[in-house]
């Protein structure tokens, strides 16, 4: 009996021993695993192998640990460990250096962890909302650091696409999406508060930063909790998936995935396989599943886990000759004891100190947020005057409204800077236009000639063919006659290629400069703007100049029927697709807007009925000193070096021709003050035009922006550091943001005016828009739309991009003009038979007006009937055409 019991006990003991045996790794085994891990870490870092590596080595965009100068008040979220925590972290620097934290823990129910992504993020926002209420902080827009303890592929400190869920989370529609965007959208959905999401960080990174704040030697962060993972500071030159070789960046190893390519099968036990089979992500996170991951169903530990911790601590030689590495360890002591021992054994040359993060990772996330904002803050302080509050923008909006008023008034117009030029275009296309036209498009970044055929089978369709022509600088800066000879020559060439030299097609001329019209086909250039400066053209009718040049050639004939500004052409192009379009704006080489104004408000044109398109020429806003309070030293320098000093001051603050140069001047000044490029200034950096507006667009691209910054700055010879690239990206953002904000203010003024003109509580309208800056810059349109919506909430605005330029619009105006010309001709022929003694010329025109209803495009007739007579008898005045 006793023997039987003893035998059973002995066999049970053997079974236990055998089982435990499988969990115990020999030194040799540990060394082998360490080597395999080393190989995987390398593979994760290398460009060619990164995609297939099981240890992903994800860049974190954290370039340094805190240095004690961080300060501010931050909100932090800590999601993905055992607890979901929302915190406020107040950091002080200097002699009062301290960190104070307030936090609340919230539950995340299983059905939310594994529900939809939208539910999960709505829940998170709900908890933040509760916490902000509790803290009484709902009205402050706090910067937020988001500890998100899952593998994220980052392209910036505030951009993280979830690679795959790990641990107990499995919410749908999150993998492959940016978690910062998802959080932002959920905040928007709830619409109760706003936050400035500055950083998204892994818990290992947050932990490293927390500990590094106390001990600057800390450069590794390790988590052994619900999951397990490690991060460490790696030399930039080794991180091949991120551009740049200078300095360091923290890498989130995601070592939990080690073994997913079957290379630790020899040490996995049947229990590990069982755990895997029962998990949410079978076959994944195999390393994490080994005994050190503290899950309810695997509460056993063994020394085998410890090898992982050692591997990344590749010894670094310090000047003193000692090898150091510091691991911040979050765990408890039985585990930590074994960990320390084994680390010592496996990395005998490293002297490692383990520091437990008492404060979790939220403090670290707040510190990262502070670090990320700190450099920005320096630049912000520097460029403070380029950032506007909504209050300032509203003030600028009301100044511009006053300027518009001034430009429209008869007495005030002569001294007004915003000229509010009548265009003699009285309505947008109505769908009945047709014909074969030529359009010239001169004044933007391209000189283009187009053939536009508008046909009317069943549906109105437009066919276009176009060609671009050069406008060399010596021509646009030479004599006016040479410029128009050039235009006539290009037109001849185009007609020849189109085989229409023998036809006299109606021509619409988009001429993108301020012109005074007395009719549609007479346009006196008031002043050159942008890059043009040909002599002898200001004060002249450009139709006459072009006709003269064509006549001089004598090889073809053309009938120039309409001159339109590019804003007007754009409005008409967009109006063709959307009848609601009543504003046209250009944000390109230059900037300008036109809109449909009530005729009764246009003092410079007779008549009160109907509307007319006004070319505002808002580029000149500020030429009377109205914007001096918001112009910076850089704006003044740009103006001094321009072709037209003292003119187009608003345009010079916002448009594509000047923005690149603005950034260059700022960079020079910042470099001189040692804020950039370690104070290095190169001849290229000092050369006008070396930094272009298209570079701003490239640098502000979400994905490759920093790489582009590096490329562009390297071409300027300044050898930028990673911090420099971020700073330059920030400068670009400030300059382009200012542009979008200022244009939002002036556009807001136009929209508010349209609403008041119509005397309606809400305006629903469409803005036709074109220009290279608006089209090419990755964030510009979004920023502009957003600010406009904030500044004029009572307007529902649709922004419609003109895909086909302004030429189509110019052709549509020409269609009207040529139809009217035909009709006038017909009437003239009909009326020619009636004895002149019976009817005056004026009345003929009046009859024509009645006959053709509102097609009176160029002519405006004021008709007064005498009711005493049965005969048609009237008095009419004809406006000069
Ligand atoms: C907390 C950190 O202290 O530890 C979290 O603040 C981290 O960011 C967590 O995720 C890890 O441990 P556990 O056991 O909660 O998974
Ligand atoms: C084009 C229009 O699309 O945009 C031109 O056809 C206009 O008429 C131009 O002048 C404005 O943009 P940019 O960037 O070329 O000045
Ligand atoms: C999992 C996550 C990882 C996290 C770790 C610890 O391994 O994938 O991102 O750091 O758990 O929470
Ligand atoms: C300049 C011109 C204006 C034009 C604008 C956009 O501001 O003066 O007429 O519309 O550039 O091209």
Q: Which residue has the tokens 């008023």?
A: 405
Residue among 286, 448, 631, 753 flagged as catalytic: 448
18 is catalytic: no
With a Cβ cut-off of 6 Å, ligand 2 is lined by 441, 443-446, 510, 512, 566, 569, 586, 588-589, 656, 770-772, 805-807
399 is catalytic: no
Q: Which residues pair with 589 in a beta bridge?
A: none
Q: Are 110 and 159 in contact (CB under 8 A)?
A: no
Which residues have CB under 8 Å from 196's CB, separation 6+? 141, 142, 143, 144
Q: Which residue has the tokens 């965007």?
A: 181
pLDDT, tens digit, 9 for 90 and up, residues 636-680: 999 999 999 999 999 999 999 999 999 999 999 999 988 899 889
**Beta-strand relationship, 581-587 and 763-770:** parallel
- Judged against a pLDDT cut of 60, whether residue 325 lies above it is answered with no
Length of the chain (residues) = 881
Return the structure tokens found at 345: 């054994």
Given this model, what pLDDT does residue 437 score? 96
Return the structure tokens found at 270: 């049947």
Cα 857 to chain centroid distance, Å, stands at: 41
Residue 429 Cα to ligand 2 midpoint, Å, equals 20
Rounded CA-CA distance 104/131 in Å is 7
- Judged against a pLDDT cut of 70, whether residue 722 lies above it is answered with yes
- Judged against a pLDDT cut of 60, whether residue 855 lies above it is answered with no
Residue 773 Cα to ligand 2 midpoint, Å, equals 10
Q: Are 236 and 244 in contact (CB under 8 A)?
A: yes
Residue 416 Cα to ligand 2 midpoint, Å, equals 26
Q: Which one, of 301, 351, 360, 304, lies nearest residue 325 by Cα?
A: 351
Confidence category of residue 15, pLDDT binned at 50, 70, 90: confident
**CB-based burial of residue 27 (10 Å sphere; 0-12 exposed, 13-18 middle, 19+ buried)?**
exposed
Closest ligand (CA of 328): 1
Q: Which residue has the tokens 């080595």?
A: 57
Residue 557 Cα to ligand 4 midpoint, Å, equals 28
- CB-CB neighbours of 100 under 10 Å: 11
Q: Which of 187-196, 501-510, 513-522 has the lowest mean pLDDT?
A: 187-196
- CB-CB neighbours of 869 under 10 Å: 9
pLDDT, tens digit, 9 for 90 and up, residues 133-189: 999 998 888 999 999 999 999 988 889 999 999 998 999 999 999 999 999 999 999
Q: Which one, of 648, 654, 655, lies nearest residue 738 by Cα?
A: 654
Rounded CA-CA distance 314/347 in Å is 9
pLDDT, tens digit, 9 for 90 and up, residues 374-428: 777 778 778 889 999 999 999 999 999 999 999 999 999 999 999 999 999 999 9
Given this model, what pLDDT does residue 297 score? 37
Which residues have CB under 8 Å from 145's CB, separation 6+? 74, 75, 76, 77, 198, 199, 200, 201, 206, 362, 365, 366, 367, 368, 369
Return the best residue to mutate from 445, 447, 780, 807 for the ligand 2 pocket (most ligand atoms within 8 A of CB): 445
Q: Which helix (H) or strand (E) holds 199?
A: strand 196-201
Return the structure tokens found at 622: 């500020």
What is the layout of strands, in order, in the sheet containing 591-598?
421-422, 611-615, 591-598, 581-587, 763-770, 795-801
Ligand 4 pocket member 569 (CB < 6 A):
no
With a Cβ cut-off of 6 Å, ligand 1 is lined by 78, 80-82, 147, 149, 203, 206, 223, 225-226, 330, 360-362
Q: Are 217 and 190 in contact (CB under 8 A)?
A: no
Rounded CA-CA distance 308/326 in Å is 15
Residue 62 Cα to ligand 2 midpoint, Å, equals 41
Give the CA distances from residue 382 to residues 67, 379, 386, 675, 722, in Å, rounded to whole numbers and listed in that order. Answer: 22, 5, 9, 10, 20
- Judged against a pLDDT cut of 90, whether residue 752 lies above it is answered with yes
Radius of gyration of the chain (CA): 36
Rounded CA-CA distance 147/169 in Å is 15
Residue 144 Cα to ligand 1 midpoint, Å, equals 18
Residue 718 Cα to ligand 3 midpoint, Å, equals 39
Q: Are 485 and 549 in contact (CB under 8 A)?
A: yes
Ligand 4 pocket member 586 (CB < 6 A):
yes
Q: Which residue has the tokens 């930063």?
A: 209
Return the best residue to mutate from 81, 104, 227, 356 for the ligand 1 pocket (most ligand atoms within 8 A of CB): 81
Return the structure tokens found at 651: 């345009």
Rounded CA-CA distance 451/448 in Å is 10
3-state class (DSSP) for residue 492: helix
Question: What is the DSSP secondary structure assignment for residue 257, as one 8-state letter?
Answer: G
Return the best residue to mutate from 591, 694, 772 for the ligand 2 pocket (most ligand atoms within 8 A of CB): 772
More confident residue, 129 or 841: 129
Can you list the positions of beta strands (E) in 566-694? 581-587, 591-598, 611-615
- Judged against a pLDDT cut of 90, whether residue 580 lies above it is answered with yes
Closest ligand (CA of 618): 4
Given this model, what pLDDT does residue 844 score? 53
Q: Are 719 and 244 in contact (CB under 8 A)?
A: no
Return the best residue to mutate from 447, 511, 566 for the ligand 2 pocket (most ligand atoms within 8 A of CB): 566
Instruction: Using the atom order of ligand 3, give the atom closest to the CA of residue 152.
Output: 9
Q: Are 286 and 304 in contact (CB under 8 A)?
A: no
Rounded CA-CA distance 195/374 in Å is 17
Q: Is the dihedral of CA 593, 596, 597, 600 positive or negative?
A: positive
3-state class (DSSP) for residue 281: coil
Confidence category of residue 282, pLDDT binned at 50, 70, 90: confident
More confident residue, 806 or 281: 806
- Judged against a pLDDT cut of 50, whether residue 316 lies above it is answered with no
Return the structure tokens found at 699: 């640098």
SS3 track for 391-443 = HHHHHHHHHHHHHHHHHHCCCCHHHCCCCCEECCCCCCCCCCCCEEEEEEEEC
- Judged against a pLDDT cut of 90, whether residue 514 lies above it is answered with yes
With a Cβ cut-off of 6 Å, ligand 3 is lined by 80-81, 149-151, 166-167, 202-204, 223, 225-229, 254, 256, 288
Average pLDDT over the chain, rounded to whole? 88
pLDDT, tens digit, 9 for 90 and up, residues 128-140: 999 999 999 988 8
Which residues have CB under 8 Å from 291's CB, separation 6+? 23, 298, 300, 301, 302, 304, 305
For atom 1 of ligand 1, the residue with the nearest CA is: 360
For atom 4 of ligand 3, the residue with the nearest CA is: 149
Residue 128 Cα to ligand 3 midpoint, Å, equals 22
pTM metric for this prediction = 0.68
Can you list the positions of beta strands (E) in 520-580? 522-525, 559-564
Please list, residue by residue across 294-313, b when 16 or more beta carbons sit within 10 angstroms of its beta carbon and e when fewer do: bbeebeebbbbbbbbbbbbb
Ligand 4 pocket member 805 (CB < 6 A):
no
Given this model, what pLDDT does residue 866 score? 32
Closest ligand (CA of 445): 2
Confidence category of residue 842, pLDDT binned at 50, 70, 90: low
Phi, psi for residue 210 in degrees, rounded to 5: -55, -50
Ligand 4 pocket member 444 (CB < 6 A):
yes
Given this model, what pLDDT does residue 302 score? 46
Q: Which helix (H) or strand (E) holds 668?
A: helix 656-672
448 is catalytic: yes
Rounded CA-CA distance 144/141 in Å is 9
pLDDT, tens digit, 9 for 90 and up, residues 426-454: 999 988 899 999 999 999 999 999 999 99
Which residues have CB under 8 Å from 74's CB, separation 6+? 88, 89, 90, 91, 142, 143, 144, 145, 365, 366, 369, 370
Q: Which residues pair with 439 in a beta bridge?
A: 450, 508
Q: Are 131 and 104 in contact (CB under 8 A)?
A: yes
Q: Are 421 and 617 in contact (CB under 8 A)?
A: yes
- Judged against a pLDDT cut of 60, whether residue 301 lies above it is answered with no
For atom 2 of ligand 3, the residue with the nearest CA is: 150
Which residues have CB under 8 Å from 277's CB, separation 6+? none
Return the best residue to mutate from 113, 206, 207 for the ligand 1 pocket (most ligand atoms within 8 A of CB): 207
- DSSP percent split of the chain into helix, strand, coil, nearest 5: 45, 20, 35
Rounded CA-CA distance 409/494 in Å is 42
Given this model, what pLDDT does residue 247 score? 79
For atom 11 of ligand 2, the residue with the nearest CA is: 771
Residue 327 Cα to ligand 3 midpoint, Å, equals 16
Closest ligand (CA of 523): 4
- CB-CB neighbours of 825 under 10 Å: 10
Instruction: Using the atom order of ligand 1, give the atom closest to the CA of residue 357.
Output: 3
Residue among 203, 359, 566, 635 flagged as catalytic: 566
Rounded CA-CA distance 766/580 in Å is 6
Q: Are 135 and 127 in contact (CB under 8 A)?
A: no
């Amino acid at each position: 009996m006793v023997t039987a019991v003893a035998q059973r006990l002995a066999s049970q003991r053997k079974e236990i021993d055998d089982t435990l045996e499988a969990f115990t790794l020999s030194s040799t085994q540990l060394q082998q695993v360490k080597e395999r891990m080393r190989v995987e870490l390398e593979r994760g870092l290398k460009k060619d192998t990164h995609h297939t590596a099981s240890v992903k080595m994800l860049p974190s965009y954290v370039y340094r640990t805190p240095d004690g100068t961080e300060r501010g008040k931050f909100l932090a979220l800590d999601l993905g460990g055992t607890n979901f925590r929302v915190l406020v972290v107040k950091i002080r620097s200097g002699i009062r250096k301290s960190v104070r934290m307030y936090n609340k823990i919230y539950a995340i129910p299983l059905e939310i962890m594994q529900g939809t992504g939208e539910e999960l993020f709505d829940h998170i926002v709900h908890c933040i909302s509760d916490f902000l209420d509790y803290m009484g902080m709902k009205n402050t827009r706090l910067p937020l650091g988001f500890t998100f303890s899952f593998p994220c592929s980052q392209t910036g400190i505030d951009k993280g696409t979830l690679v795959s869920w790990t641990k107990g989370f499995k919410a749908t529609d999150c993998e492959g999406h940016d978690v910062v965007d998802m959080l932002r959208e959920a905040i928007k959905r709830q619409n109760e508060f706003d936050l400035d999401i500055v950083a998204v960080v892994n818990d290992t990174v947050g932990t490293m930063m927390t500990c590094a704040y106390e001990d600057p030697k800390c450069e590794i962060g390790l988590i052994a909790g619900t999951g397990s993972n490690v991060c460490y500071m790696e030399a930039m030159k080794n991180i091949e998936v991120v551009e740049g070789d200078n300095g360091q960046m923290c890498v989130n190893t995601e070592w939990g995935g080690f073994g997913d390519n079957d290379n630790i099968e020899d040490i996995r036990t049947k229990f590990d396989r069982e755990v895997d089979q029962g998990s949410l992500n079978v076959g994944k996170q195999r390393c994490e599943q080994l005994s050190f991951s503290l899950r309810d169903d695997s509460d056993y530990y063994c020394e085998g886990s410890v090898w992982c911790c050692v591997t990344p601590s590749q010894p670094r030689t310090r000047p003193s000759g000692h090898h150091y590495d510091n691991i911040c360890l979050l765990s408890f002591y039985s585990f930590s004891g074994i960990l320390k021992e084994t680390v010592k054994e496996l990395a005998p040359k490293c002297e490692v100190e383990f520091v437990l993060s008492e404060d979790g990772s939220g403090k670290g996330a707040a510190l990262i947020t502070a670090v990320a904002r700190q450099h920005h803050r320096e630049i912000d302080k520097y460029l403070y005057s380029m950032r506007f509050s909504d209050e300032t923008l509203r003030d600028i909006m009301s100044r511009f409204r006053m300027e518009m008023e001034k430009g429209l008034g008869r007495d005030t117009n002569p001294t007004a800077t915003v000229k509010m030029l009548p265009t003699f275009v009285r309505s947008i296309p109505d769908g009945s236009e047709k014909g074969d036209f030529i359009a010239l498009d001169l004044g933007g970044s391209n000189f283009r000639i187009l053939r536009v055929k508008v046909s009317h089978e069943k549906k109105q369709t437009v066919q276009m063919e176009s060609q671009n022509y050069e406008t060399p600088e010596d021509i646009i800066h030479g004599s006016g006659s040479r410029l128009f000879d050039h235009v006539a020559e290009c037109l001849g060439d185009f007609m020849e290629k189109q085989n229409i030299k023998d036809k006299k097609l109606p021509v619409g001329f988009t001429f993108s400069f301020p012109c005074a019209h007395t009719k549609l086909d007479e346009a006196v250039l008031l002043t050159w703007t942008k890059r043009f400066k040909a002599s002898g053209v200001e004060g002249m009718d450009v139709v006459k100049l072009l006709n003269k040049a064509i006549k001089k050639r004598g090889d073809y004939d053309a009938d120039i029927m309409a001159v339109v500004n590019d804003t007007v052409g754009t409005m008409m192009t967009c109006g063709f697709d959307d009848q609601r379009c009543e504003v046209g704006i250009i944000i390109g080489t230059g900037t300008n807007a036109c809109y449909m104004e009530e005729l009764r408000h246009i003092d410079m044109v007779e008549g009160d009925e109907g509307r007319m398109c006004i070319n505002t020429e808002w580029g000149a806003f500020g030429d009377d000193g109205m914007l001096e309070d918001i112009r910076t030293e850089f704006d003044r320098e740009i103006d001094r070096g321009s072709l037209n000093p003292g003119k187009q001051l608003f345009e010079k603050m916002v448009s594509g021709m000047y923005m690149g140069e603005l950034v260059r001047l700022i960079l020079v000044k910042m470099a001189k003050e040692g804020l950039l490029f370690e104070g290095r200034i190169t001849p290229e950096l000092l050369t006008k035009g070396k930094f272009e507006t298209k570079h701003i667009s490239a640098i502000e691209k979400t994905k490759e922006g920093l790489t582009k910054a590096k490329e562009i700055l390297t071409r300027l010879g300044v050898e930028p550091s990673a911090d420099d690239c971020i700073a330059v990206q920030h400068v670009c953002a400030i300059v382009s943001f200012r542009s979008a904000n200022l244009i939002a203010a002036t556009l807001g003024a136009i929209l508010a005016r349209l609403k008041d003109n119509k005397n309606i509580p809400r305006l629903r309208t469409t803005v036709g828009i074109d220009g290279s800056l608006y089209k090419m810059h990755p964030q510009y349109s979004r920023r502009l739309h957003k600010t406009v919506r904030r500044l004029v909430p009572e307007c529902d605005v649709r922004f419609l991009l003109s895909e086909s330029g302004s030429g189509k619009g110019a052709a549509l105006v020409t269609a009207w003009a040529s139809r009217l010309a035909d009709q006038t001709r017909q009437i003239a022929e009909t009326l020619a038979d009636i004895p002149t003694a019976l009817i005056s010329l004026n009345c003929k025109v009046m009859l024509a007006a009645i006959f053709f209803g509102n097609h009176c495009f160029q002519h405006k007739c004021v008709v007064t009937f005498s009711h005493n007579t049965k005969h048609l008898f009237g008095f009419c005045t004809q406006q000069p055409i």
